[in-house]
Amino acid sequence: MVRLQEVTKRFPQGGGVQGVSLEVHPGEILVLLGASGSGKSTLLNLVAGLLLPDRGRVFLGERDVTRLPPERRQVAYVFQDLGLWPHLTALEHLLLVMPRPDRKAAFALLERVGLLELAFRRPGELSGGQRQRVALARALAREPKVILLDEPYSALDPVLRESLRLEVRSLLKDMGATALHVTHDPEEAMLLGDRVGVMAEGRLLEVGPPQDLYARPRSLAAFLAFGRANVLPDGEGLLAFRYEEVAPGGPLTARVLERREVRGEVLCRVRLPQGEAWVRLEAFPGEEVGLTLLHPRRFSPAGEALTPI
């Protein structure tokens, strides 16, 4: 288990995290979702011991590790750039970090990640997805209490990224690993996370099951973190709904301005009484259609969730 207790870290140039409390349960994959600069990677570095907090405490299990150096924390870190050593083979990467080097166990782990036949290849001889698997296997070979993943799929092409992240989730769950994963991609957060924590401006806004946060956010910032969102002025507050949260027919009159087809999905830009929005709708430019908003939400001008319409 990872537990952060009112952790604060500020940098002279700005940024950091402010008063973050968080628990990651044993065997859980918790994903931190937020834009660049929201404090996600700072939290990972605080858990890893690469940074020390200005205030607050960091626990691994019941052990206070706030001031312990990284090598004494039993934490493995998969960096965005992977950090593989170019002169070592995949097998050597594992043997170097194992608490008790064991070739048989290393080969077994490489087989688990689909790299057994590539055990003697170096990073320059591997594809992007294969290098990603080496980095994950190396992290697991350390027998860590916690695995930290900092946007590890960002350099991969979209097709490979989609398949690999599901493979990695399956592997982590099969091994019962406890993981804290950082991403700015809402789809990735929903695919990977048992729970998701939404971050903005150094603060942890909400934590919960991904579908709950997607459907019932308590703040506009958390609503927007999952993307595909429309926010329109409505009286003294704000009206918010997602592209897919509309149905044809209904009291709202909309004129279709533009149509786009993306991966089998039709999206239309429409003009509503409150302003322009994108919706998932089968229609063509120039048409006037009636719409029903299925799950509209109201927020105050300050971004606080109000009673749904």
- pLDDT tens digit string along 194-248? 999 999 999 999 999 999 999 889 999 999 999 999 999 988 899 999 999 999 9
Question: Which alpha helices (DSSP H) does 78-209 contain, by range?
Answer: 90-97, 103-112, 128-141, 158-174, 186-192
The fraction of the chain above a pLDDT of 90, given in percent, is: 67
What mean pLDDT is reported for the chain? 91
Q: What is the pTM of this model?
A: 0.87
Instruction: Give the least confident one: 35-49, 123-137, 217-231, 277-291.
Output: 123-137
Q: Are strands 146-150 and 55-60 parallel, antiparallel or unpaired?
A: unpaired
Backbone angles phi, psi at 93, to 5 degrees: -60, -40
Instruction: Kindly report the number of other CB atoms within 10 A of residue 140's CB atom.
Output: 21
- Domains of the chain in start order, with CATH, are 2-215 (3.40.50.300), 229-299 (2.40.50)
Instruction: Give the least confident one: 81-85, 124-128, 214-218.
Output: 81-85
Supply the DSSP string of 252-268, one letter for each residue. EEEEEEEEEEETTEEEE
